């Protein structure tokens, strides 16, 4: 059955792959983005997927944006919380602004978007919320106390909200990607990247479409008995 889906950070990288995977399965997809108008326009022209601009860390903007989407396309039944940023440094050097901005967007965005969409899903008796965490939220990472804390928080958020939604037909799950060949990873110095790949048992970076396939499954009817779970897609780099 075709549904209306919103993918935050949905016009680039992993988000773009997710948007395309959901569209390929017949859903009406709306990609949210935060800043790059040129790339968002190019994305829409290339894919036919509309892109709506708002800051997921802004609570009122999320409420207004989701209301506009619902009025235009219909009730939102699938939410993918993918938007995220990094502001890496050791705690010794990290500013409060760098801590707060990562928490505001990466974790606060999940709350804001769920607040805007979960009540409708609950009332209609069907919904899918998929939150994109990270291997670094599971295992930690040097120089990322802000990012690791936010992503770890996403996994706890997922488990708690899953308990609220279960009896109403709303599932809430997470995916924890490992290192994926996106622009964010491409910015890592080559010497550092080589060390990262050396620690991945399958011997390579992941591909964005591999994360997207996981999202597509969790958004489907086939995943109706799966909630509160985290799907780790990391090439075997972290297992627990």
Q: Which residues are catalytic?
A: 147
- If you count DSSP H runs as helices and E runs as strands, how many of each does the chain have, helices first? 10, 7
Collapsing DSSP to helix, strand or coil, 134 comes out as: coil
Q: Tell me which residue has tokens 């948007």.
A: 19
User: Beta partners for 22?
Assistant: none
**Strand-strand pairing, 170-177 and 230-233:** parallel
Structure tokens at 44: 């829409």
Q: Is 28 in contact with 2 (CB distance < 8 Å)?
A: yes
Task: Kindly tell me the burial class for residue 65, based on how many C-beta atoms sit within 10 Å of its own C-beta (0-12, 13-18, 19 or more).
Answer: buried
Tokens describing residue 115: 């607040």
Contact 175, 154 (CB under 8 A): no
Q: Where are the alpha helices (DSSP H) in 166-233?
A: 183-186, 190-198, 208-218
Radius of gyration over every alpha carbon of the chain, rounded to an integer in angstroms: 17
Question: 228 with 163: CB under 8 angstroms?
Answer: yes
Give residue for tokens 């050396």.
Answer: 198
């Amino acid at each position: 059955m075709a549904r209306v889906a919103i993918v935050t950070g949905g016009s680039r990288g992993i988000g773009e792959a997710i948007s395309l995977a959901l569209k390929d399965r017949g859903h009406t997809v709306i990609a949210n983005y935060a800043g790059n108008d040129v790339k968002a326009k190019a994305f829409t022209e290339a894919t036919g997927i509309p892109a709506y601009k708002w800051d997921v860390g802004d609570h009122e903007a999320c409420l207004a944006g989701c209301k506009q989407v619902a009025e235009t396309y219909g009730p939102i039944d699938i939410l993918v919380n993918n938007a995220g940023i990094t502001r890496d440094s050791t705690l010794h050097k990290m500013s409060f602004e760098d801590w707060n901005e990562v928490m505001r967007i990466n974790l606060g965005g999940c709350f804001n978007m769920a607040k805007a969409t979960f009540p409708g899903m609950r009332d209609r008796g069907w919904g899918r919320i998929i939150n994109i965490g990270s291997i670094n939220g599971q295992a930690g990472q040097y120089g990322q106390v802000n990012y690791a804390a936010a992503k770890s928080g996403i996994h706890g958020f997922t488990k708690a909200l899953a308990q609220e939604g279960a009896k109403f037909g709303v599932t809430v799950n997470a995916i924890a990607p490992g290192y994926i060949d996106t622009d964010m990873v491409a910015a890592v110095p080559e010497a550092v990247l080589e060390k990262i790949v050396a620690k991945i048992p399958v011997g390579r970076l992941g591909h964005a479409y591999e994360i997207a396939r996981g999202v597509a499954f969790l958004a489907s009817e086939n995943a109706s008995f799966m909630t509160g779970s985290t799907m780790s897609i990391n090439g075997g780099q972290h297992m627990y």
